[in-house]
């Protein structure tokens, strides 16, 4: 008898490493296999509702923006066999338990994408625990814009200069941007030794 068994897959890496692209590729292939997929992402501005997952190469799919991981259980529809979650680093630790329950109790294939490291190069939110929970873990790399090696870090720039370790997460009026860099080219002024 064919029995649907749940699992957790994590896709991690720096910005521009292709996490959203890979998430969307898996979603498309699941749909080709006639699976029913629901896509969720954190609503950073407290607005619920229709949103989208966009990759830097221009692909997109509709997603539901949610406030807390518990919303996934509330919004889960009968017949859904695949749950995809993008930007998982922004959720609190309860995302780990929700993913576990989806896989264990509901037999769902859970595909989670997120940044493994923040701009300081430190583990990002619930990602380490999600990576440990996963049966399948893929760590993707971008290209370092400074030296051309594989990039594993997200360089935060404020007005074109590397952001300091203690710079606030929200900076009103400043020009903020990010680029992919390798360990050696990643700069975090003021980082404790
Ligand atoms: P992520 O979700 O990890 O931020 P995306 O899937 O949105 O990544 O985008 C990946 C795409 O970004 C690549 O396929 C490429 O077209 C583009 N890109 C832009 N800058 C870089 C870079 N420095 N290294 C690799 N890809 C890059
Ligand atoms: Zn480099």
Run of H or E including 129: helix 127-133
Q: Measure 55 CA to ligand 2 centroid, in angstroms.
A: 23
3-state secondary structure of 178: strand
Positive or negative torsion for Cα 72, 78, 84, 86: negative
Find out whether 71 and 93 touch, Cβ atoms under 8 Å. no
Distance from the CA of 17 to the center of ligand 1, in angstroms? Answer: 5
Interatomic CA distance for residues 35 and 13, integer angstroms = 26
Q: What pLDDT shows up at residue 1?
A: 57
Task: For residues 48 and 66, give the distance between their C-alpha atoms in angstroms, rounded to a whole number.
Answer: 6
Q: Which residues in 64-82 are b (16+ Cβ under 10 Å) and which e?
A: bbbeebebbeeebeeebbb
Q: Which residue among 14, 18, 27, 151 is best mutated to probe the pocket of ligand 1, counting the most ligand atoms within 8 A of its Cβ?
A: 18
pLDDT tens string 143-158? 999 999 999 999 999 9
What end-to-end distance do the CA atoms of the chain give, in Å?
56
* Alpha carbon nearest to ligand 1 atom 19, residue: 16
The β-bridge relationship of strands 150-151 and 176-181 is unpaired
Domains parsed from the chain with CATH numbers: 7-140 (3.40.50.300)
Please report the pLDDT score of residue 50 as a whole number: 81
Q: What is the pLDDT of residue 113?
A: 98
Q: Is 120 in the pocket of ligand 1 (CB under 6 A)?
A: no
Mind listing the pLDDT tens digit for each residue in 108-141?
A: 999 999 999 999 999 999 999 999 999 999 999 9
What pLDDT was estimated at residue 158? 95
CA of 143 to the centre of ligand 2 (A): 8
pLDDT average, residue stretch 50-55: 85
Catalytic, out of 87, 133, 176, 179: 87
DSSP E strands: which ranges in the chain? 7-13, 37-42, 49-54, 60-66, 82-85, 109-115, 136-140, 142-143, 150-151, 153-158, 161-162, 176-181
* Active-site residue flag, 187: no
- Tell me, using a 6 A CB cutoff, whether residue 20 lines ligand 1: yes
| Ligand 2 centroid to residue 124 C-alpha, Å | 21
Determine whether the shortest distance from the Cβ of 24 to ligand 1 is under 6 A.
no
Using the structure block, give the residue that is written with the tokens 């390798």.
Answer: 182
Structure-derived torsion over alpha carbons of residues 138, 56, 72, 106, reported in degrees to the nearest 10? -40
């Amino acid at each position: 008898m064919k029995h649907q068994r749940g699992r957790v897959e994590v896709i991690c890496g720096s910005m521009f490493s292709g996490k959203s692209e890979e998430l969307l590729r898996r979603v498309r292939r699941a749909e080709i296999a006639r699976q029913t997929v629901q896509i969720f992402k954190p609503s950073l501005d407290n607005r619920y509702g229709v949103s989208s997952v966009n990759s830097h190469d221009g692909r997109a799919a509709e997603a539901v923006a949610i406030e807390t991981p518990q919303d996934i259980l509330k919004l889960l529809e009968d017949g859904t066999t695949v749950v995809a979650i993008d930007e998982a680093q922004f959720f609190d630790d309860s995302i780990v338990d929700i993913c576990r329950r989806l896989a264990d109790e509901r037999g769902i294939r859970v595909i989670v994408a997120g940044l493994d490291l923040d701009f300081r190069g430190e583990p990002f939110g619930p990602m380490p625990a999600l990576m440990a929970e996963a049966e399948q873990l893929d760590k993707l790399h971008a290209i370092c814009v400074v030296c051309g090696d594989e990039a594993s870090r997200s360089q935060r720039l404020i007005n074109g200069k590397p952001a300091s370790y203690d710079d606030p997460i929200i900076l009103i009026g400043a020009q903020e941007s990010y680029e992919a860099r390798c360990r050696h080219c990643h700069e975090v002024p003021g980082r404790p030794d």
